[in-house]
Amino acid sequence: MNLHIADYVLIVVLGVAAFSDIRYRKVWNWLTASAILVGFVLAFHTRGGAGIIDSLKGFGVMLGAGLVGYMIGFIGAGDGKLLAGVGSITGIKPVGLILAGSAIAGGVMALVALTMTFGLKSGLRKIGPGFMQMAAAKSVHAGAIDGKKTRLPYSLAIAAGALFWMAIR
């Protein structure tokens, strides 16, 4: 695998975000703002105006996805801004794959958390009623399935989606 400067920047950003999310349950604004800015700078440096346009497209799509995820209560604001930073660094082409990989990783994380909290049988039994509760409220909220305000460090799922994309390209 041939890594570029942007790949190393992405790995560092994702690593710091994962650390801060696990340790403090927060993805810092200075990190996400820096990722966005560095993404734009690297895109311009490597591909000029076309790179900036590509970076802006990636930023916009990921910011939109992050905003929707935040508004329905699926992810935190820092996670949404982290998605925007990832999009700024990667550009538009891989955002669908990164979002899909992140969603799958997030689902696996949620299943593992339920299983660890309630055991396999009881945890799996809580999924159906939890989804019904979210559908009735027309909202996703952190305690729908386990009755608590459990917050998963979703930056780990974002990192998994981005690293999956890096590994298969």
158 in Cβ contact with 102 (< 8 Å):
yes
In the chain, where the domains are located = 5-168
Q: Which two tokens stand for residue 87?
A: 């999009």
Alpha-helical regions (H) of 72-119:
77-90, 95-118
Q: Mean pLDDT over all residues of the chain?
A: 87
Alpha-carbon gap, residue 82 to 98, rounded angstroms? 12
Q: Which two tokens stand for residue 147?
A: 């009755």
Whether residue 90 has pLDDT greater than 60: yes
**Is residue 132 within a helix (H) or strand (E), and if so which, with residue range?**
helix 120-137
Q: Which two tokens stand for residue 163?
A: 């690293």
Whether residue 2 has pLDDT greater than 80: no
Instruction: Please report, as a single letter, which amino acid is at residue 124.
Output: L
Write the pLDDT tens digit of every residue in 8-38: 999 999 999 999 999 999 999 999 999 999 9
